[in-house]
């Protein structure tokens, strides 16, 4: 009988503890695509990513709100500062030029450019540095997953803010200058570059 | 039903009650969907602005899995009850697995008038520089932390990302995308240069 009990407890233990699942990472995939982008401006942008995870004050704790809390209250604060650098390029997509967008009349050429756009965004992993991580109380350190999420938000913020610094306007001006120079070298006396309205 | 069996059933019932209570406590107190922490609004600093003229002709996207494992020094072939936790974790002490997607753009750097145009009465000859990898792009939005066990120094993650970047670039090199970039550039410039003359597009050799 004792053996039976032991067997049952062992089976229960194994059943309870052995349930773990692991997904297989996605297999390698690649994709080749034809593009025709002319990048004309490159901005190097720095940003300090700041996160303060100490917004819950235990002294203001109320039991009625317990079930509504987004997470368990922890005693302590977590703060982090991450610095990063990104390279943002902007230009025009020449593959969007349609047949009717280029008109040649004698020694004059008229070209209608598609609107300027961000052509590439990259954040060099070597430029990412945790400058400060402050923990107190019973808080956990920031996980790599959390840090990735902060960097993603930082990337979105950079792309959102950079428009205010006139990157697309610069890209348009530089694209125009490049094409005027290019067509003049081809022998055209007059080059008219028309811009599309930026999306 | 004898006394021993009854006792066993009662014990099992109590055990199941304890497990059920534990599950309920977990669901109520701990199984909360945590809100994603949001970063504060801080300004960006423009460190430099450069005028460039880069034509990207081919884009290659790839995905690599970078895995770093640290194992216990335990021989798992002989089960040692004192080290059951190491056995349970298959000898893995720490693990960090990242899935990183990246993009390599091949094209031509025409910055500083790095091309020549020669024309005579019948022919236009455009000489472009040799194609090269213009951009090797890895960004946080294309990085996924697939598994994270234990704490890792920042340098480990950084090295994994840099190695991933190199792997993606090497994969692009193996696919001979330079030829494809040349073909696409020819098509692109044939569209841009509308002329009745014969258009010849040449490419410089690698230095």
Domain that holds residue B147: 49-203
Answer whether residue B124 is part of any domain: yes
> Which pLDDT does position A28 carry in this prediction?
46
**Inter-chain CB proximity A8 and B8 less than 8 Å:** yes
Nearest-Cα distance to chain B for A47, in Å, is 5
Displacement of CA A156 from its chain's centroid (Å): 5
* Cβ <8 Å between A36 and B117: no
Provide the residue ranges of all domains of chain A, joining segments of one domain with +: 35-195
Asked, for residue B36, whether it belongs to a domain, the answer is no
Tens digit of pLDDT for each residue in B88-144? 777 788 999 999 999 999 999 999 888 999 988 899 999 999 999 999 999 988 999
- Per-residue confidence (pLDDT) for residue B78, from 0 to 100: 72
Q: What is the pTM of this model?
A: 0.79
Query: Alpha-carbon distance B92 to B69, whole Å?
Result: 7
B17 part of a folded domain: no
Residue B42 within any structural domain of the chain:
no
Share of chain B above pLDDT 90, in %: 66
How are beta strands A190-195 and A108-113 bridged, if at all? parallel
Q: Of A176, A166, A30, A11, nearest to A92 (Cα)? A: A176
pLDDT at B203 (0 to 100): 95
Is the CB of B52 inside 8 Å of chain A's CB atoms? yes
Chain B: closest CA distance from residue A17 (Å): 9
Domains of chain B: total = 1
Q: Which of B:137-176 have CB within 8 Å of A?
A: 137-141, 143-148, 151-152, 154, 157-158, 161-162, 165, 171, 175
* H runs (alpha helix) in chain A: 2-17, 144-161, 167-185
Per-residue pLDDT reduced to its tens digit, A72-118: 555 667 899 999 999 999 999 999 998 889 999 988 999 999 999 99
Q: Which of B99, B148, B194 sits opposite A25 (nearest CB)?
A: B99
Domain contains B9: no
Least confident of A90-104, B4-18, B38-52, B63-77: B63-77
Please tell me the distance in Å from B68's CA to the nearest CA on chain A: 13
Q: What is the ipTM of this complex?
A: 0.79
Tokens of B6: 């009854």
Q: What integer is the mean pLDDT of A138-146?
A: 85
- Test the B interface: residue of A104, A155, A182 with most B CBs within 10 Å: A182
Predicted pLDDT of residue B181: 95
């Amino acid at each position: 009988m004792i053996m039976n009990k032991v067997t049952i407890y062992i089976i229960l233990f194994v059943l309870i503890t052995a349930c773990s699942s692991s997904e297989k990472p996605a297999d390698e995939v690649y994709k080749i695509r034809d593009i025709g982008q002319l990048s004309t401006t490159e901005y190097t942008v720095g940003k300090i990513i700041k996160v303060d995870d100490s917004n819950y004050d235990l002294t203001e704790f109320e039991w009625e709100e317990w079930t509504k809390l987004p997470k368990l209250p922890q005693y302590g604060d977590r703060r982090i500062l991450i610095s990063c650098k990104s390279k943002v390029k902007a230009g025009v997509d020449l593959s969007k030029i349609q047949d009717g967008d280029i008109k040649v009349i004698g020694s004059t050429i008229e070209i209608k450019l598609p609107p300027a756009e961000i052509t590439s965004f990259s954040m060099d992993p070597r430029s990412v540095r945790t400058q400060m991580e402050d923990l107190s109380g019973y808080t956990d350190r920031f996980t790599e997953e959390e840090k990735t999420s902060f960097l993603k938000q930082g990337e979105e913020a950079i792309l959102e803010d950079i428009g205010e610094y006139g990157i697309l306007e610069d890209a348009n001006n530089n694209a125009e200058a490049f094409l005027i120079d290019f067509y003049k070298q081809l022998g055209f006396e007059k080059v008219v570059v028309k811009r599309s309205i930026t999306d | 039903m004898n006394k021993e069996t009854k006792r066993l059933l009662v014990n099992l019932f109590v055990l199941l009650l304890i497990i059920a209570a534990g599950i309920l406590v977990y669901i109520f107190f701990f199984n909360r969907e945590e809100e994603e922490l949001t970063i504060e609004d801080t300004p960006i600093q423009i460190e430099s602005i450069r005028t460039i003229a880069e034509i990207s002709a081919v884009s290659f996207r790839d995905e690599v899995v970078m895995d770093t494992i640290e194992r216990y020094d335990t021989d798992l072939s002989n089960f040692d009850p004192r080290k059951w936790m190491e056995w349970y974790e298959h000898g893995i002490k720490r693990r960090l697995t990242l899935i990183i997607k990246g993009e390599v753009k091949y094209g031509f750097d025409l910055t500083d008038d790095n091309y020549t145009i020669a024309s005579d009465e019948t022919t236009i000859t455009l000489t472009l520089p040799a194609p090269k990898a213009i951009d090797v792009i890895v960004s946080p939005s294309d990085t996924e932390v697939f598994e994270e066990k234990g704490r890792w120094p920042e340098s480990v993650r950084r090295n994994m990302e840099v190695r991933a970047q190199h792997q993606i670039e090497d994969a692009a090199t193996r696919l001979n995308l330079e030829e494809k970039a040349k073909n696409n550039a020819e098509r692109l410039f044939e569209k841009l240069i509308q002329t009745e003359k014969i258009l010849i597009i040449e490419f410089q050799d690698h230095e």
